[in-house]
Amino acid sequence: MELRKKHFLDIVDYTPEEIDRLLVVGQKLKEDRLRAFGALSGKTLGLLFEKPSLRTRVSFDVGMQELGGHAIYLSPQEIGLGTRESVPDVARVISRFADAVVIRTFAQETVEQFAKWASICTINGLTDASHPCQALADILTITQKFGHLQGINIAYIGDGNNVIHSLMLAAAKMGANVAVAGPKGYEPDPQVVARAGQDAAQSGSRISITTDPLEAVDGADVIYTDVWTSMGQEAEYEKRLATFQGYQVTQELVAHAKPSAIVMHDLPAHRGEEIADDVIDGEQSAVFDQAENRLHAQKSVLLMLMAPTVFETL
C-alpha cells in the first residue's frame, strides 16, 4: 500500500482523510492559483497519452506551470507502449528523464505495470477501468456547491464505465449516496460495486443500481452523465445509441430531482444524446466548473506526490 501511495493509480488506494486533505488543498489552490508557485521548480512531468485529451493534457500542463515546473507531451506515435517498446523499458527510461508521469491509456494493467517498473511518481490520467483524477475533481465540485459530501445524493445516468467506477468509490468513501441507472447489461463492474458497498457501509452511505432513471434521480442533489460510447467503443456506436434511448438527461428528468440539484458531465459531451443542450447550458449546470476543477484537484495530487512538505503546509 505504501508503494502504491507513491503513485496515484486508483482512488480506492486512499483513505477518506487523505481524500479530504486533497480536496482542502485543491480548494486553496483554486482560491489562489499561484499560492504554491515554485514548489515544483526544476521538476518535469511527462504526459504519456495513448488516447486523445483536452482537459487532462491542458490541466496538467498548466498545473505544472502554475507550480513552477514543466510538462512534456509524449504522443502515442513517439512511445508505442507495448509495441515499439515494452512498458517496463519505457518506465525505466522516462524515470531517468522526468520526475513524474501521467499515463492516459487503455488497460489499467498498463498503468499498474508502468508504476511497478518506474522509479518516479506515476499518475493515472485515465484507463478503461478508472479515472481517479476526474473523480477527485467531481467531488471537489460537489463540495464547493453544497459545502459537504456526507449525505449528498448523486444520481448517475448512463453507461457503467470508468468514470462512474471512480466516482462511486470516491463518493462511498466520503459518505455520499450513489444511484446508478443504465440499461441491463451496461451496469458498472460488479467488483467495483461491491467494494464501493463496503466503503459505503463504513461511511454510512449507500450504493444502488437500477434500470430506471426516474428512480435514480428522485431526491437527487447531483445528476451526472457521461457519453454512451467511450473511446475504443466506436464500433458499438449504433447499438449503444439504440440501447440508451430513454437515458438522456433532459429538463424533464432534472425536474424529478431536488430544485437545488446540479448537473454534471465529465466532457466531452455528445449533445443531443446523453444530455440535452438546454441542460448542459442551463442554470443548474456545473459542467464547466467541474472541468476547471480538474486543474485544481490535479495540482493538489502533484504536490502530494512531488512536494509532500509543501502539500502538508497548505
- Looking at the fold, whether 106 and 233 belong to one and the same domain comes out as no
- CATH number of the domain at 169, please: 3.40.50.1370
Kindly report, residue by residue over 138-163, the tens digit of the pLDDT: 999 999 999 999 999 999 999 999 99
The yes-or-no verdict on residue 230 having pLDDT over 50 is yes
pTM: 0.96
Structural domain tally of the chain? 2
| Confidence check: pLDDT of 1 > 50 | no
* Residues 140 and 121 grouped into a single domain: no
For 185, left (φ over 0), alpha (ψ -120 to 50), or beta? left
Going across the sheet that includes 177-181, the strands are 207-210, 177-181, 153-157, 222-225, 262-265
Given this model, what pLDDT does residue 77 score?
79
Looking at the structure, do residues 147 and 29 belong to the same domain, yes or no?
A: no
Query: Are residues 170 and 119 part of one domain?
Result: no
23 with 110, same domain: the answer is yes
Give the tens place of pLDDT for each residue, 14-72: 999 999 999 999 999 999 999 999 999 999 999 999 988 999 999 999 999 999 999 99
Residues 285 and 300 in one domain: no
Query: Which residue matches cell numbers 487503455?
Result: 106
Distance from C-alpha of 259 to C-alpha of 124, rounded to nearest angstrom: 35
pLDDT at 280 over 60: yes
Tell me, yes or no, whether 160 and 252 share the same domain. yes
**Residue among 24, 21, 30 at smallest CA distance from 63:** 30
Is the Cβ–Cβ distance between 217 and 252 less than 8 Å? no
Q: Please tell me whether residues 139 and 275 are part of one structural domain.
A: yes
Above 70 in pLDDT, residue 3? no
Does residue 214 share a domain with residue 69?
A: no
Residue 166, domain extent: 132-291
**Residues 137 and 269 grouped into a single domain:** yes
Based on the fold, state whether residues 276 and 149 are members of the same structural domain.
yes
Tell me what the mean pLDDT of segment 105-114 comes to: 95
